[in-house]
Chain A
């Protein structure tokens, strides 16, 4: 488990020459904001009524697709997920995967906080403890990413 023993990498990753302008950890933090907003929007989008679809009936398929593309929270939610994937890929160009990937857990914190406002959910001692622990873990990783 020690960091002193280095094992040769099996998969060769060509090092991107330029030093990152921003710490990739911040990019992942922004990713989690996108991911959490997307999740909230998808929940709103799921409340939108969609007509039943019968594949034998072309008119019902058209009506379904029209309703689906008119369900703007769903459309924006999926678009945010796409932006989030792009940003995550950009972040992963530099730095350790084992350090950046767990930062993604911050999205749980944002979802809980956003749900307070949008879905009138309540915090309890467990959720509060969870938020504190995740922020603690993310802070440790953030500090490690600067070294």
Chain B
């Protein structure tokens, strides 16, 4: 079993970071949809989709030297970042329920990663 290098882990952290901003921009852009179909072409939505696609670039780079079963569960850290940005930018409360649910989900993804070896 090969050891996943630190550089791959840093790249996946970067991917999860970029992905979390993708979600933030989709949320911002979604608010424009009330203006009908033309609201679909606003820069926030395009930026959100661009960030999601862009986040796959460091992820694929990370996979060159790292193991998928280790790196794939780490992508889900973007849920943690997105929760922080939601509080900082949109004033959404971080409740015990949200933290508990996120812990269950991250634990579950970790288990699936281990089971996929």
Chain A residues with a Cβ under 8 A of chain B:
1-3, 6-11, 13-14, 16-17, 85, 88-90, 92-93, 96-99, 101-102, 104-105, 108, 112, 123-138, 140-141, 143-144
Residue of A1, A96, A132 near B86 (CB, 8 A) is A96
Q: A1-B99, A3-B94, A89-B48 are in contact. List 11 more A-B contacts (CB 8 A).
A: A9-B91, A96-B92, A97-B23, A108-B112, A126-B114, A127-B112, A130-B113, A134-B112, A137-B103, A141-B101, A143-B97
Bound together, the chains give a CA A93 to CA B40 distance in angstroms of 12
> A40 CB to closest chain B CB, in angstroms?
15
Residues of B in contact (CB 8 Å), total 49
Bound together, the chains give a CA A48 to CA B108 distance in angstroms of 32
A97 touches B108 (CB 8 A): no
Bound together, the chains give a CA A143 to CA B97 distance in angstroms of 9
Q: Chain B interface mostly helix, strand, loop or mixed?
A: helix
B91 touches A141 (CB 8 A): no
Residue ID in chain A nearest B86 by CB atoms: A98
Chain B residues with a Cβ under 8 A of chain A:
23-24, 26-31, 33-34, 40, 45, 48-49, 52, 76, 79, 82-83, 85-95, 97-105, 107-116
Count how many pairs of residues, one from A and one from B, have CB atoms less than 8 Å apart in the complex. Answer: 152
Bound together, the chains give a CA A30 to CA B109 distance in angstroms of 19
Q: Enumerate chain B residues within 8 angstroms of A98, measured Cβ to Cβ.
A: 82-83, 86-87, 92, 94, 98
Question: Contacts A88-B26, A97-B92, A108-B108 hold; do A14 and B31 have CB atoms under 8 A apart?
Answer: yes
Q: Enumerate chain A residues within 8 angstroms of B40, measured Cβ to Cβ.
A: 89
Q: Which of B48, B94, B112 has the most CB of A within 10 A?
A: B112
Question: Contacts A9-B90, A14-B34, A127-B115 hold; do A92 and B105 have CB atoms under 8 A apart?
Answer: no
B105 touches A102 (CB 8 A): yes
Q: Which of A13, A97, A137 has the most CB of B within 10 A?
A: A97
